[in-house]
Structure 1
Amino acid sequence: MARMEHRTLGRTGREVSVVGLGTWQLGADWGEVSETDARAVLEASAEAGVTFYDTADVYGDGRSEQVVGQFLADHADAGFTVATKMGRRAEQVPSSYVEAHFREWLDRSRRNLGVDTIDLVQLHCPPSEVIEDDATYDVLDRLVDEGVIAAYGVSVETCAQALSAIARPHLASVQIILNAFRTKPLDEVLPAAAAAGVGIIARVPLASGLLSGKYDLDTTFAADDHRTYNRDGSAFDVGETFSGVDYATGVEAAQEFSALVADSGLDVTPAQAAIAWIWQQPGVSTVIPGARNTDQAAANAAAGLVDALPASFLDGVRELYDRRIREQVHGRW
């Protein structure tokens, strides 16, 4: 079987698969996923060649970290890289992002993951003031020196936040929304990261499922699914739900995206084309689609084997974005 390409994840120095696995779905906010099903998704991803797993301390209040930790223990010699995130367990104000809280959160995450040193911890979309504060990085550097974490990064909402973080000398990675409906990071963020040796972890690759082409205007989601309760941004940044695109526009644009895949003669699903489009962008280290079942996990990982996408398809994605999406999202994030 062909092996998925691996790339160095910025200043972590670790080689990771270009398609990883995001585990938000395995913790909460996407409808119910049993622990058995969550473990099956992890195993299917590993079988398909995934070596990078992204979680957070708030996904199911630690449930996702615990499931990932058990999985990690059973594959101790596999060379997997696990990244978690911290900061959303407290009020989203700069005063929450202090050393005492960092240590408390990281001790909990280390217990959940069953590790002494966390491979990569990311601040979880903190306020801009935290990203801009020298004190933030002083604490993170101490935690690296002490072996609590091996490396640190920042998960961001905006390109401006990403550029601020990339300027920090010891930052390992930036996690940012990047997909065919959110292309702004291509303009400045990816080139800046590449120049600085900072890894890029691309999240929300399918625009919360829109780019799979499987939704229509009548599709409904569970009450505990963020695609139901966060469409207005009342729970967290609206850009995390459908990439900030209004649902009707997103459905129509996704249908056009699916047609573009077919017209380009690509022998892949729209979701696989969307994932391949991301990891084939210069500067991307890994892309982290989520999965609710083993079939999704295997299909997502297979997108890491897609040949170079043709220029006609790439041009078509850009034209679709400019015509249908840009006005809604480009200036906001």
Structure 2
Amino acid sequence: MSFKQVELGRTGIMVPQLAFGAMSFGGMFGPTDEETSHACLDAAIEAGITFWDTANIYGMGVSETVLGHYLAAKKPEGITIATKASIIPGPPRRIDNSYDYLRSELEGSLEKLGLSSVELFYAHRHDPETPIEEVAETMGRLIDEGLIKGYGLSEVAPYTLSRAHAVRPVTAVQNEYSLWTRLPELGLIRSCAELGVSFVAFSPVARGMFGETSVDRADMREGDFRLSNPRFTEPNYSHNLAKVEEFRQWAHGRGVSVAGAALAWVMAQGDHVIPIPGTRTAAHLNEWLDAQKIEMDAATLAEIEAILPAGWAWGDRYGDKQMVAVERYC
């Protein structure tokens, strides 16, 4: 059994409905090395997970470099690559959506990846001082120049999507979405479906909470942004851990992995909804694989909703400093 193939926006490019996020390859959540990362990519290919997502700031180029070395060494076929740019780390953190900046960063990303073009390129955040119509025009130029096949937006509101799409059709929107982050249900997932835009759900296993064991604060290294994230600070963390344990017991009672069940739930929200979990290891990736065989019928969805109803999580998904250029619409 392999993951269902879905169209990436309206590009004609078909991708598995479960994708792979390579942020962890940049050391964002702990030490990693290229050999381990490449073994993880081997496992992804074996599982049919061939849509890979990275960004210029993941390890300040490390993630893209790791992917580039793998592509050069293994030469796998049928891989779809997405990358992103716009965030300039601080302090203070800044967002740059200008053509000159995005094109320059894209060229750097292509060099690291060893590619002449990528299938998808995101504006990683929207600079509120730059009209989104200008961003759409910039992305259109990059498409016309043959550097990208389609473009995306990240952490945007439905109105921003519709404004950009009117100028140049958007391929994908990437926002956080999972059983503990449900905001996109208030218009964004529906807007994507209506416009023929893929909705790429990042952090679909709740930053490690929906695993066979939940992420432990004691295991987080200094600098891990989760240490200051409201959902990982007390008393919120203990409450959230207890609720996730209820879901874990439900999943185990059904004989499925916790991550697989969480991912199957996300995919059940629409054929255009593509979860993009990330990991550093093949072992964790293999926990996802039963997502393709878990049937999410109405009764199952109702059982999950009874355990984890919308709004169950304590604490905001980001702290105030992490909300820079994240669009709020409700």
Q: TM-score range by the shorter chain?
A: 0.7 to 0.9
Q: Pick from 293, 296, 309: which aligns with 2:296?
A: 309
- Name the structure with the higher helix share: 1
What TM-score, normalized to structure 2?
0.86
Q: Which range is displaced more, 246-255 or 204-213?
A: 246-255
1:72 positional shift = 2.2
Describe the SS at the equivalent of 2:206: coil
**1:30-45 map, 5 Å:** 30-45=29-44
Describe the SS at the equivalent of 1:287: strand
User: 2:253 aligned with 1:254, yes or no?
Assistant: no
**Contact kept in structure 1, 2:236 and 2:314, CA below 8 Å:** no
The percentage of aligned residue pairs carrying the same residue is 27
1:297 positional shift = 1.6
* Equivalent residue letter for 2:124: H
**Structure 1 unaligned residues grouped into runs of 5+:** 233-240
Q: What RMSD over aligned residues (CA atoms) do the two structures have, in Å?
A: 2.8
Residue number in structure 2 paired with 1:127? 127
**Contact kept in structure 2, 1:178 and 1:203, CA below 8 Å:** yes
**Structure 2 unaligned residues grouped into runs of 5+:** 318-327
Q: Pick from 252, 274, 286: which aligns with 2:262?
A: 274
1:286 positional shift = 2.0
Residue number in structure 2 paired with 1:86? 85
Describe the SS at the equivalent of 1:116: coil
1:151 positional shift = 1.1
Residue number in structure 2 paired with 1:236? none
* Equivalent residue letter for 2:276: I
Change (3 A) 1:3 1:10: same
**1:176-325 map, 5 Å:** 176-212=175-211, 214-215=213-214, 219-228=218-227, 230-231=228-229, 246-262=236-252, 265-300=253-288, 302-319=289-306, 320-322=308-310, 324-325=312-313
Q: Which range is displaced more, 163-172 or 56-65?
A: 163-172
Q: Which range is displaced more, 249-258 or 29-38?
A: 249-258
Describe the SS at the equivalent of 2:200: strand
1:327 positional shift = 8.3
Describe the SS at the equivalent of 1:83: strand
**Contact kept in structure 2, 1:193 and 1:283, CA below 8 Å:** no
What is the CA–CA distance in structure 1 between the aligned matches of 2:251 and 2:199, rounded to whole Å?
25
Count of paired positions = 317
Per-residue CA distance 1:96-123 (angstroms, 9 max, x = gap): 2211111210110010111111211111
Residue number in structure 2 paired with 1:110? 110
**Contact kept in structure 1, 2:204 and 2:275, CA below 8 Å:** yes
What TM-score, normalized to structure 1?
0.85
What is the CA–CA distance in structure 1 between the aligned matches of 2:158 and 2:219, rounded to whole Å?
31
What is the CA–CA distance in structure 2 between the aligned matches of 1:115 and 1:219, rounded to whole Å?
39
What is the CA–CA distance in structure 2 between the aligned matches of 1:146 and 1:167, rounded to whole Å?
20
Change (3 A) 1:322 1:286: closer
Per-residue CA distance 1:294-313 (angstroms, 9 max, x = gap): 1112222x134223224333
1:213 positional shift = 5.4
